[in-house]
Structure 1
Amino acid sequence: MNDKEIVLVGTAHVSRNSAELVKRIVEQEQPDSVCIELDEQRYKSIKDKDKWRNTDIVQIIKEKKAGFMLTNIILSNYQRKIAEQFDIQAGQEMIQGIQSAEELQANIVMADRKIQTTFTRLWRKVSLWGKIKLISSIMYSLIDDEEITEEDLERMKTEDMLSSALTELSKSFPTLKTYLVDERDQYLAAKIKEAPGKKVVAILGAAHVPGVQEELFKEQDLEELDSIPEKTLASKIGGWILPGLILVMIGLTFTVDTSMAWSQVLRFILWVGSLAALGTFLAGGHVLSAVASFVMAPLSAIHPLLATGWFAGLMEAHIRKPKVEDFERLSKDLYTLKGFWKNKVTRILLVVAFSNIGCTIGIWISGLNIVTSFFDLFF
């Protein structure tokens, strides 16, 4: 291919033999470049043994990445269950690929797309019902203690860990496969073709090999694959519709019955604030974090660009700031649901998520109540 020899190595992310296979092939082929199915962020996590020490949970909340981090942690817990049950280390073949390339002084190419880009593109394209099922599936993996069978393990050997964690959901929503597998096949192929040198060894999960092999003979638009789709007009204005209707109906009610209008305002504040605070408590949040939820939820409810979880999470992080040992203990705490709730890192992320969920439920309940009162009054 354009005077470049490309060797695709299909590996099993949960197989002990894969690391040995990678080591043998790299030594045998002596490539100029070794492409790894990792992105720069995951690569740095492997290289930086003190990565948790450098984690700024406050910055993560401010950058609106709390949900992404929580999802990553839960999916990591899924991988941990597999590793624990079968006494294996997931992703060891990728680490071996990096080590072998370093020993050979070959170029190391991080060929995979950022997970955050993959999930953001997926999130923008999936329907509301799809989002609900996606979140439910991820949360269920946290509490599911069912043992993984040998049959499940064999299936995982032909999938990458990101895809295998969501396989069942992918059957119901083919769109997931488009972003989790198909687009990444295109991205991987493009990066492999761009790798410097005459000979390239690419270490991939076995599930990606057929797709990448096919894509190597096609043209890809890396810029498009790496872009974040613009929100649709419907999604941009959708968050403003219900708050707007609530404010209009309360405003019109003031023109007819001031007492009823103030009653609606009070019920709105109580429903939204109380359920946001309840969500904070369910996540194990501090009393002051719950107070922050209660106070900020009504404002967030009528201003969709604000999120109750930001304020609750920042308060929780300020009061119960995670220490280095909380990050270091994270993998161990994930062994139990209690540990997941007790660890200060995951607790902050849960406070962000649960207070937002509580606020959303409160908006719909209070909104329905206001609509009912409005129609009773005017019709």
Structure 2
Amino acid sequence: MASADPFQAPYVVNVDPPGLPKTVTRLTTEFGSFVYLVGTAHFSRESCEDVATTIDLVRPNVVLLELCTARTGVVALDESEMLEEAKTMNLQKLRSNIQAHGFTSGIVSSLLLLLTAHITKELGMAPGGEFRTAYKHACGIAGCRIVCGDRPIQITLTRIIRAMSLWQKCKFGWYLLTCRDPISKEDVEKCKDKDLLQQLLEQFAGEYPEVTEVLVNERDQYLVHSLRKAAQPVHSRLIGGPEPIVVVGVVGMGHVLGIVSNWDKKIDIKSLVSIPKPSVVGRVISVGIKIGFYGLCIYGVYRLGKTWKLI
């Protein structure tokens, strides 16, 4: 196959190469670029194989990962390091999360990390393997760029918190603290079809459309914006003008349908990255119980880590 570097040789796309995994959805842009969307489960070795196969077959110009820049550390660690990292939660990490994301978002981020750690411990498999695989295989292609396409995690967490009432925040925190049922072999098999972590979160989010909107639907639109931007044609000295490119997008399976349904729609990116201001009433009501509530969350994180033997 011709080089993937449009500055070195004309790029000839094999639109439907044989052996392309069934988890791949092909999209096209108005400029003629191709986007191969690989739907993955974050705790699935099969997904890692699908990502590797897709990148090796289509040899893209760009590989886009469903990560934000704050989460790029997931590709730098090897499997054993990531497994240990996901299993270990302590008060120092809690403080670091609070410093990085702010008090409220830091607490929610820590609770999500504990939920991830529980799944990791149950499955014996670290999350993010598909991203590490994508990074490794993309680095083997001359001229291939690797970009992060997800919305910054702090914006997502803040928008989730602002979308919920105080009672919903309490229920959300309690759900994350107590969602630690054993994971069966059947659940492991389901990981091949849908991300297990997202399934657990959607069980809660389904009760509150506002949370589902922020956690899933808004990020679907943000990923569409990122994929379109990544698929912009490049100037080729060989043809003297713009040349379409090929992009491989590595995203969770739960985002594929949303990306496809929003692909041809206009995306209001400014609204997706704005931080809504809390209402005056909400600030007045929450100020009296804020310290006690967050203190309970911190204590809950610490006790939960002890219970799961993660601290």
Same fold (TM over 0.5): yes
> In 1, Cα distance between the equivalents of 2:195 and 2:309?
27
Q: CA distance change for structure 1 residues 162 and 17 in 2, over 3 Å: closer, same or farther?
A: closer
In the alignment, what sits opposite 2:216?
Answer: 181
In the alignment, what sits opposite 1:193?
Answer: 228
Q: Secondary structure at the match of 1:9?
A: strand
Matches within 5 A, 1:153-302: 153-160=188-195, 163-195=198-230, 196-197=232-233, 198-239=245-286, 283=299
Say whether 1:103 aligns with 2:132.
no
Picking from 150, 153, 173, the partner of 1:115 is: 153
> In 2, Cα distance between the equivalents of 1:63 and 1:28?
39
Q: Secondary structure at the match of 1:165?
A: helix
Q: Secondary structure at the match of 1:38?
A: coil
Q: Structure 2: which 5+ runs fail to align? A: 1-28, 86-91, 234-244
Higher relative contact order (CA 8 A, sep 6+): 2
Q: How much has 1:200 moved relative to structure 2? A: 0.8
> In 2, Cα distance between the equivalents of 1:25 and 1:110?
18
Q: Secondary structure at the match of 1:80?
A: helix
Contact 1:32 1:106 in 2 (8 A): yes
Q: How much has 1:239 moved relative to structure 2? A: 4.6
Q: CA distance change for structure 1 residues 158 and 183 in 2, over 3 Å: closer, same or farther?
A: farther
Contact 1:33 1:200 in 2 (8 A): yes
Q: How much has 1:120 moved relative to structure 2? A: 0.9
Query: Residue 174 of structure 1 aligns to which amino acid in structure 2?
Result: P
Q: CA distance change for structure 1 residues 70 and 130 in 2, over 3 Å: closer, same or farther?
A: closer
Q: Secondary structure at the match of 1:6?
A: strand
Picking from 183, 192, 217, the partner of 1:148 is: 183
Picking from 122, 126, 130, the partner of 1:89 is: 126
Q: How much has 1:173 moved relative to structure 2? A: 1.5
Per-residue deviation, residues 239-276 of structure 1 (Å, max 9, x unmatched): 57x79xxxxxxxxxxxxxxxxxxxxxxxxxxxx9xx96
Contact 1:158 1:205 in 2 (8 A): no
In the alignment, what sits opposite 1:252?
Answer: none
Q: Percent identity?
A: 27
Contact 1:182 1:211 in 2 (8 A): yes
> In 2, Cα distance between the equivalents of 1:79 and 1:59?
17
Picking from 73, 77, 85, the partner of 1:44 is: 73
With the length of structure 1 as denominator, give the TM-score of the two structures. 0.58
More helix by percentage: 1
Query: Residue 35 of structure 2 aligns to which amino acid in structure 1?
Result: I
Per-residue deviation, residues 306-363 of structure 1 (Å, max 9, x unmatched): xxxxxxxxxxxxxxxxxxxxxxxx9xx98742755xx5xxxxxxxxxxxxxxxxxxxx
Q: Structure 1: which 5+ runs fail to align? A: 244-271, 285-329, 344-379
Q: Which has the larger radius of gyration?
A: 1
Q: How much has 1:30 moved relative to structure 2? A: 1.0
Q: Secondary structure at the match of 1:72?
A: helix
In the alignment, what sits opposite 1:31?
Answer: 60
Count of residues paired in the alignment: 255
Query: Residue 123 of structure 1 aligns to which amino acid in structure 2?
Result: I
> In 1, Cα distance between the equivalents of 2:120 and 2:166?
33
> In 1, Cα distance between the equivalents of 2:203 and 2:157?
17
